[in-house]
Amino acid sequence: MELERRELPATGARAVRDLAHEIAVTLGPDPATSSTLANPTLIHLVDARYTELPAAVREAMRAPATTAGVTIVGSVPLDDGELGPTPIDWKQAATWGGDPLTCAASFELDIAMLLLARCAGEPFGWQGQQAGRLVNNIVPSPGHEEEQTGASSTTLLAPHTEDAFHPERANLLMLGCLRNPDRVGTTVSSVRRVELRPWQCDRLSESILPILPDLSYGTEFPTTPAPAVPTLGTDDGRLTLRFDPAYTPLADADPEFRSAYDHLASELERVCITAALAPGELLLVDNDVVVHGRVPFRPRYDGTDRWLKRVNIRLPQRRRAETEAAEDGYGQRIVAPFRAMRPEIGTTLGHRR
């Protein structure tokens, strides 16, 4: 099962970097802007100018078109020498962004990621994750090797829907590779390629268990009862998925439900594809259809480790089940400056009516 692949034309790929550089120069060396990406001027410039990119760039950033639900887009021009060392955690990455003595290119690449994400839809962040940054840095971090978070390394990052616990989770996830010398693979599996019996679909469509927030959001959450959510849904008659076994209390379910859930997990493993991104490549993941994870690897913490950037994207044309509107998302709130810039984006997003 091969991955869909799209190529940015050389002129289009160069245009992304050039426009990102121009915006960075316009903003000037402001550590606050580069570390948080919350500057209204930055948001305005990205929103106003992404349409200047060649049509071929915007076409390449459309949602995946195959049942695999994933697309590799190649490639944004990138030289390893402009990156500086891989940070040891997201906080260091945010602090270094825009600092010419460490990694001047990181801020420009953040802007490039926002431009590309805006071509696809509405980029957004989370108040409780990486200080609300719209572009997250995914690097292995000391002390987090065995966690089920993006900062882990030596353990298998189990296949999961990104932010499965929340009703406002992304429709599309974009991963941009800056560095991956060990060819560490990202795993992807589409629910539209699994084989399930009718009774398994029926049970997994019931709201039996909750999905809890992952450790990247901390551990302090409201004490109100966690709502049960369905694992499977449908969109125009096709299966959708909300799956995160590492943060689902499966022991609380009845044996029949656990059997159906285990079979789904086995099927997702059977249809799994591994994508080892090269620097400059992007991975677009349909978060309503695909679960993703990562194979284990041994970090060196010497400045040469794997380094990805991640952007959550909402797609205006998508709708989710109306029942999700009643969920509070454990108090987690999104950061959506593009929606504030263009209120019409917010009116076209939401749940199925």
Tens-place pLDDT, residues 135-173: 999 999 999 999 989 989 999 999 999 999 999 999 999
Q: Which residues pair with 351 in a beta bridge?
A: 320
Q: What is the mean pLDDT of residues 185-206?
A: 97
What does DSSP assign to residue 78? Answer: -
Burial of residue 322, with CB atoms counted within 10 A of its CB: 0-12 exposed, 13-18 middle, 19 or more buried: exposed
Q: Crossing angle for the helix pair 40-49 and 104-120, nearest 10 degrees?
A: 50
The amino acid at 200 = Q
Q: Which of 98-102, 113-117, 129-133 has the highest mean pLDDT?
A: 113-117
Q: Residue 150: which residues within 8 A CB-CB, separation 6 or more? A: 136, 138, 157, 216, 310
Radius of gyration of the chain (CA): 20
First to last CA, the chain: 35
Looking at residue 353, what is its pLDDT?
27
Say whether 351 sits in a helix, a strand or coil.
Answer: strand
Contact call for residues 94 and 133 (beta carbons, < 8 A): yes
Looking at residue 349, what is its pLDDT?
45
Q: How far apart are CA 61 and CA 74, in angstroms?
A: 11
Q: Is the pLDDT of residue 100 over 60?
A: no
Name the percent of the chain lying above pLDDT 70.
Answer: 92
What does DSSP assign to residue 65? Answer: -
Q: How far apart are CA 104 and CA 92, in angstroms?
A: 13
Q: Is the pLDDT of residue 65 over 70?
A: yes
Buried b vs exposed e over 96-123: b needs ≥16 C-beta within 10 Å? Answer: bbbbeebbbbbbbbbbbbbbbbbbbbbb
Q: Is the pLDDT of residue 221 over 80?
A: no
Q: How far apart are CA 155 and CA 147, in angstroms?
A: 7
Q: Is the pLDDT of residue 322 over 50?
A: yes
Q: What is the mean pLDDT of residues 192-217?
A: 94
Task: Tokens for 283, please give them.
Answer: 């991975």
What band does 348 get if pLDDT is binned at 50, 70 and 90? Answer: very low
Q: Which of 185, 179, 207 is nearest to 80 (CA)?
A: 179
Q: Which of 36-40, 279-283, 315-319, 322-326 has the highest mean pLDDT?
A: 279-283
Q: How far apart are CA 257 and CA 209, in angstroms?
A: 10
What does DSSP assign to residue 215? Answer: G
Task: Tokens for 186, please give them.
Answer: 């990202």
What band does 66 get if pLDDT is binned at 50, 70 and 90? Answer: very high
Looking at residue 104, what is its pLDDT?
65
Average pLDDT value over all residues in the chain: 91
Q: If you search the block for the tokens 């948001």, which residue do you land on?
A: 43
What band does 34 get if pLDDT is binned at 50, 70 and 90? Answer: confident
Q: Is the pLDDT of residue 295 over 60?
A: yes
Q: How far apart are CA 278 and CA 186, in angstroms?
A: 11
Please give the backbone phi and psi of residue 294, each rounded to the nearest 5 degrees, phi first: -155, 140
What band does 352 get if pLDDT is binned at 50, 70 and 90? Answer: very low
Say whether 57 sits in a helix, a strand or coil.
Answer: helix
What length is written for the chain? 353
Q: Which of 156, 135, 123 is nearest to 90 (CA)?
A: 135
